[in-house]
Amino acid sequence: MRPYVAGVDTSTQSCKVIIWDPATGQIVREGKASHPDGTEIHPDHWWTAFEQALEAAGGLDDVHALSVGGQQHGMVCLDADGQVIRPALLWNDTRSAQAAVDLIEEYGGETGGNADGVQRGNDSEGLDAACCTGGTQESGVGQRATELATAHEVGKRWWVEATGSVPVASFTVTKLRWLADNEPENAARIAAICLPHDWLTWKISGSTDLADLRTDRSDASGTGYVAADGSTYRYDILARALHIDEDAARRIILPRICEPWEVAGRGDATRGWGEILLGPGCGDNAGAALGVDLRPGQALLSLGTSGVISAVAAQPVADPEGLVAGFSDASGHWLPLACTLNASRIIDAMCKVTGLDYDAFDEAALSVPDARGLVLVPYFEGERTPNLPHATATLSGMTLANSAPEYVARATVEGLLGLMRFALDAVRNLGAPIDEVVMVGGGARSRAVQALADGVLGARVRVAPSAEYVALGAARQAAEVARRAG
């Protein structure tokens, strides 16, 4: 009997493979390979990176089961031969922002009001900077919500009831609408639609049959065309997104949604891997929750390319404002989640501005008691929470007294944590009791972030040991799949 399992994290920036021993809970070996930069990428790059990471991890000769965790929402469209039609649009590609508005308003009635005006331009101007200094959501987003058209408000409620979430530019359904509007010839070729982790699992299986595509509740719940129960596709929504009728939508192959611990397939025997069971996989946030063994009363704060606040819930959670997505988790429960487009790269950007390296940046931020009135609204890549896809970052309140690197560094860390507090409060406001925040990710390694987190977030913060938690969560899933399979 092979003693180990493998967990894979196919993330925005790279592919990580860990070989894990379920008996001891120890990582035996691991490997990593980078993905190209950008917000759209051909999936072949994911396969190349997986092969490189797997080689670096020493292969699968002693592995019994494998699961893949991956970035959510990415749109992978396949033709009838299983070939990728166009590069995948990733979760952080915001070109479908207007498509999200259109889909919301179409379900809310006649399109109108000033919703389009709210979504365009430099949305960060006029937004109360309290959202980035630990303030509540009401000052910025609440004011904007009152400006939205009635159709938009009605539409948001419809989407929450139907799918558990209000679509934003990140969601797959909005990217499909963008495709139908802007590349109709590619939309017409679609035979199957899947997500990044679905595609990679399918490739690992060696199958070329589209009917063998598999996914799980957690990743499927982030598409925008799965019902709030997390297990049923809404072909009527898919049809509307693609401007086709429902019969045509039902002819498109979507990955079968597996149960949490179900065997989703087997590894490609022609590659000499032997008998390897494949788990259903999971979205990256659900994988991280498994990896840290997240419990009720805790929130997971992941500071990576994106910032994510998530909490485990026994019942579905619905936020009519759309700040919190009612996703499913990887274990049969739910994972209310608020995600920001900006997180650790806020510090990356301001390190370049100040000319400081990471250690010096931390030291500078901690050398002063506050930012002396300097405020960073950190919407470098637009923003999802609050939903301001066209926003830009602003540094305001500058005076001769605070125009020094240490105050810029302090304002940067406060801006990052304030944005996370905004997302945390959105989850709290739905009734989720959160006493402890477990912080993970590259951004959590910052000494300044660690030192200021408790005060800004208003909770006890525990920094988890540095680890590849998405890959570890996928490995835990693989171990349980193997155990139940006997």
The residues that are catalytic are: 284
Distance in angstroms (rounded) separating the CA atoms of residues 182 and 203: 28
In the numeric block, the tokens 């297990």 are attached to: 231
* Spatial contact of 74 and 90, defined as CB atoms under 8 Å apart: yes
Q: What are the structure tokens assigned to 193, written together?
A: 């639609």
Three-class secondary structure of residue 275 per DSSP: coil
Distance in angstroms (rounded) separating the CA atoms of residues 76 and 40: 10
DSSP result, 47-91 = HHHHHHHHHHTT-STTEEEEEEEE-SS-BEEE-TTS-B-SPEEPT
Instruction: Please count the other Cβ atoms lying within 10 Å of the Cβ belonging to residue 79.
Output: 14
Distance in angstroms (rounded) separating the CA atoms of residues 200 and 212: 12
Phi and psi at residue 53, in whole multiples of 5°?
-65, -40
Distance in angstroms (rounded) separating the CA atoms of residues 4 and 23: 9
Partners of residue 215 on adjacent β-strands: 257
Q: Which helix (H) or strand (E) holds 335?
A: strand 334-340
Distance in angstroms (rounded) separating the CA atoms of residues 131 and 6: 40
